[in-house]
Structure 1
Amino acid sequence: MDLPLKGITVLEFSQFMAGPSAGLKMADLGARVIKIERPGTGEAGRQIALKNIFIDESSMVFHTANRNKQSYAANLKDPEDLEKIKKLIAQADVMTHNFRPGVMEKIGLDYDTVSAINNKIIYGVVSGYGPVGPWAKKPGQDLLIQSLSGFVNLTGNKADDPTATGLATSDIFTGVHLVQGILASLIARNRTGKGAKVEVSLLESTLDIQFELLTTYLNDGEKLPKRAKKGNAHVYLDAPYGIYQTKDGHISIALTPLDELVKSINLRLPEAFQNPSVWYTKRDDIMAYLQEQLIKETSAHWLSIFESLDFRVSEVFDYKTLLNHEGYKVLQMDQEVETSDGISMKTTRCPIRIDGNRIFNKKSAPKVGEDNALIEKEFNLS
């Protein structure tokens, strides 16, 4: 299958997660992604590990974000190496970096310099807080951004301290936004023949994914959002939206009319809750009332009732339950990748299908400088 980005060459100066996750998506979609890394140690993300798990000399998490890429090792402070990189830039379609403001200017690979070398290149920049302002040179990191952006006040229950999400939410969404900007600019280049500078920041991306809530705040007298007392799932949605304990587990109830839900289990909604106008203001009391009922029976019992009525409900799974369920298995989300040393690792595939075809890749992340000789020959860098 010819993938959509076949023939596109991406130079990835990015490190850690946001930029490399964008490169991962482009590689999955057929682009040739070449990581530009410092000789010896490579990018700093190689040493950031989850549970201290390493595959060869690099962390497992590095392999998850850098599969199906090549590595070219170059010392950007060395004039000879820098000249080779400029020759590579002249033949590339896209380059990305996440250095702090001023670093690429000092190296001599800022946008103006790069676009003078190749005016068709799409130049992608990831920053923590944007290119200007009091925070511009602060280190940008997922947890710091979640905290600063107010995002940590949405997860957990009312009495909980500010709670971060359990994954690199800011990083991942910033990577998604970077890909969107790059792909849009590639389409525009087909029309204009010119490249573009695409800029995203962790802070702006994390604010963007809160657009529903920020819009509500700005148009509702600037009242701060409040999490539900128990079972919180969305700070601005009426009861019964949330997560409830059952006799043997938990279920989630999404956009389901409260009166219909109560009627389905042969109960009468208490007088104080009958008017839909109070389903938000009395959310905690309503959810507590429902919880008293739902804990009496198993998850399967409630799902058999609610699903037959097409209510939006779900059982709450852990990874073990999910990955052994036929609903997961039929997706074929698993794939096995292999390093150049023959070490295998299980991971997930690209979630996008093209013309009904799933996209699988066998190649794991490269070693530092693994492809230097090949790239130097192919791009005539010597």
Structure 2
Amino acid sequence: MSKDMDSSSTASHDGFPAYSIQTINWEKPMALPLEGIRICDLSQIMFGPCGTQVLGDFGADVIKIERPGIGDISRTIDRHRADRNDESANFLGMNRNKRSLALDVKSPEGLAIVKRIAKNSDVFVHNYRPGVIERLGLGYDDLRAENEKLIYVEGSGFGVKGPLAGKGGMDFVAQAIAGVAHGNKDPSGKPQLFPISASDFSSGMILAQGVLLALFHRERTGRGQKIEINLLDVFLVMQQQEVTQKLLTGKDFNPLQQDPMDVFATADGHIAVIAVLRPNPISDICNALEIPDITADPALSTLAKQMANREEYRRRMAEGFAKFATAECERRLDAVDILCSPVLPLGKTLKHPQVQENGILVEISHPKQGKFRTVGNAIKSSEVDQISLVPPPLLGQHSEEVLLEFGYSTGEIEVFKQSNVINK
């Protein structure tokens, strides 16, 4: 298999220059660091799948077990699909480098298949609500009895014990209870949710981190273990400064309210400005934008006074930004080493020369969707020149292949099909 990469800029995709996309001429590069690691993955939607995708990027064999006929919920929640036959962008973005086994795990035969796979796997991942997996007979103790070296990962919304253990959890619910929405109020004082699933993604990355930790521990000791990760904990970890400040002093820490970090309107757009880490950054900004230095005013002479009189501070600063286009504001602020960036919609971000230089966008050929573009892996390694880019699977695409690998005969597989244990 060739490892040549084509970065041609002679073509474009829907206005996106081709040179922003790495065209990979192989499906799975050789000698990835996690080759030989098998993952039995019962997770769905985002938390688990984006974590196991990272492991698959670096060579792990991820066997994704999905419900027959339906599959992972993320296959159907894309509101922008042209029709029901299109693949969901939600699913395509988080499920490359996986093999799909469409299996009724609630049937006795399906349960036995999962147990056989788990017995011969290194890692087992699920994000069922606490208690559900145990009722299926797939709890940690059940699987550990057959595979002492198994690394068992349980993802949940709020934890596996406690008053919220049985409550359904998703990122946007966790944002509310974790204090995130409360700390992100709009000008009227209404708490706001972030429009991205920050904890789902971060929990997935911690899941991958936990698996790697457990694999290293097993290499040293020969023992498997159980790992628990929940969205609430992860959101609190993401607020390390805020949590520590609250516990230490009882006060809230919110840099957007307590420091000169603002978004200002320019002549043709908006620019984000972080006026910190300098003796008098506000004075530097005023000089760069050719407006009177507001720090000469006793009412705005210090950071504390600027934040206490924020409306007046913003009004007077805004006059400078409104004079110039965004690019000129950025050029002037860069010249005096003030941290800033234009506020870009995602479409423009994807066309940015730095994104193209970073090579973070990849193109994958899918058996049903055709070529599609997505974001790759943020890890850049001097020893691993390219992640695996096997396309996300069709539902049940690998059911027969996986069952044959685990010792089932073609006759047994045909019986499973007829009894709807697996997809026909």
Q: Same fold (TM over 0.5)?
A: yes
Which of the numbers 231, 256, 259 marks the counterpart of 1:235?
256
- Please say if residues 86 and 369 of structure 2, whose CA atoms lie closer than 8 Å, have aligned partners that are also in contact: no
Tell me if structure 2 keeps the 8 A contact 1:337–1:361.
Answer: no
CA contact (8 A) 1:253 1:313 kept: yes
Alpha-carbon distance between aligned partners in 1 of 2:124 and 2:241, rounded to the nearest angstrom: 32
Structure 2: give runs of 5+ residues left out of the alignment.
Answer: 1-29, 410-424
- Between 1:2-11 and 1:50-59, the stretch displaced more is 50-59
Specify whether residues 263 and 356 from structure 1 end up closer, same or farther in structure 2 by C-alpha distance, changes over 3 A only.
farther
Number of residue-to-residue matches in the alignment = 373
The verdict on how the C-alpha distance between 1:84 and 1:221 changes in structure 2, with shifts beyond 3 A counting, is closer
Which residue of the partner structure matches residue 218 of structure 1?
A: 247
In structure 2, the CA distance between the partners of 1:352 and 1:358, relative to structure 1 (3 Å rule), is: farther
Higher RCO (C-alpha under 8 Å, 6+ residues apart): 2
Q: Superposition RMSD on alpha carbons, in Å? A: 2.2
Pairwise CA distance, 1:156: 5.4
Contact in 1 for aligned 2:256/2:262 (Cα 8 Å): no
How has the CA–CA distance of structure 1 residues 324 and 59 changed in structure 2, closer, same or farther, with 3 Å as cutoff? closer
- How far does the alpha carbon of each residue in 1:260-285 deviate from its partner, in whole angstroms, 9 at most, with x for none? 32343453222222234434434443
Alpha-carbon spacing, 1:126–1:221, altered in 2? closer, same or farther (3 Å): same
TM-score norm. by structure 1 comes to 0.90
Cα distance in 2 between the residues matched to 1:340 and 1:37: 19
Determine if contact 2:41/2:125 at 8 Å carries over to the other structure: yes
Q: TM-score, normalised by structure 2?
A: 0.82
Cα 1:218–1:291 change in 2 (3 A) is: farther
SS at 1:185 equivalent: helix
State the secondary structure of the residue aligned to 1:374: helix
Alpha-carbon distance in 2 for matches of 1:362, 1:28: 7
Q: Distance in 1 between matches of 2:128 and 2:241?
A: 31
| Cα pair distance change 1:105/1:175, threshold 3 Å | same
Match of 1:162 in 2: 191
Quote the residue 1:231 is aligned against.
Answer: none
Deviation at 1:58, TM superposition (A): 4.2
Listed one character per residue, the Cα deviations across residues 74-110 of structure 1 (whole Å, up to 9, x for unaligned) are 2222222222221211111111101111111111110
SS of the residue 1:377 aligns to: helix
Query: Which residue number in structure 2 is paired with residue 205 of structure 1?
Result: 234
Matched, 1:59 2:88: yes
Matched residue, 1:374: 401
Q: Indicate yes or no: 2:23 matched with 1:3.
A: no
Counterpart mapping for 1:26-105 below 5 A: 26-52=55-81, 56=85, 58-105=87-134
Matched letter for residue 198 of structure 1: I
Q: 1:318 aligns with which of 324, 345, 352?
A: 345
Q: Deviations over 1:299-332 (max 9, x none)?
A: 2222222111222111111233223332222122
Instruction: Determine if contact 1:53/1:59 at 8 Å carries over to the other structure.
Output: no
Name which of 283, 294, 307 aligns with 1:259: 283
Query: Quick check: 127-136 or 353-362, which moved more?
Result: 353-362
Q: Which residue of 1 aligns with 2:264?
A: 244
Q: Which residue of 2 aligns with 1:146?
A: 175
Higher deviation after alignment, 276-285 or 340-349: 276-285
Of 173, 177, 180, the match for 2:206: 177
Q: Which moved more, 1:1-10 or 1:191-200?
A: 1-10
Change (3 A) 1:61 1:136: same
Q: Tell me how far apart the structure 2 counterparts of residues 291 and 159 of structure 1 sit (CA, whole Å).
A: 20
Q: Which residue of 2 aligns with 1:230?
A: none
**Is the alpha carbon distance of 1:285 and 1:377 closer, same or farther for their aligned partners in structure 2, counting shifts above 3 Å?**
same
Matched, 1:364 2:375: no
Range that drifts further, 36-45 or 245-254: 36-45
Q: Give the whole-Å Cα distance in 2 for the aligned partners of 1:54 and 1:65.
A: 20
Contact 1:338–1:362 at 8 Å: present in 2 too?
Answer: no
Q: Is the deviation greater in 331-340 or in 278-287?
A: 278-287
Q: 1:379 to 1:81 in 2, by over 3 A?
A: same
Q: How far apart, CA to CA, are the structure 1 residues paired with 2:368 and 2:81? A: 20
Compare 80-89 and 268-277 and name the one that shifted more: 268-277
Partner residue of 2:377 out of 350, 362, 380: 350
User: Secondary structure of 1:117's match?
Assistant: coil
User: Aligned residue for 2:331?
Assistant: 304
Question: Percent of pairs identical after alignment?
Answer: 31
| 1:93-132 mapped onto 2 (5 Å cutoff) | 93-132=122-161
Unaligned runs of 5+ in 1: 227-233
Q: Cα distance 1:381–1:335, how it changes in 2: closer, same or farther (>3 A)?
A: same
Give deviations 1:239-258, integer Å, cap 9, x for gaps.
2x121111111111114322
User: 106-115 or 269-278, which moves further after superposition?
Assistant: 269-278
Contact 1:34 1:70 in 2 (8 A): yes
Deviation (angstroms), 1:294: 1.5
Q: Deviations over 1:95-126 (max 9, x none)?
A: 11011111111111100111111111111111
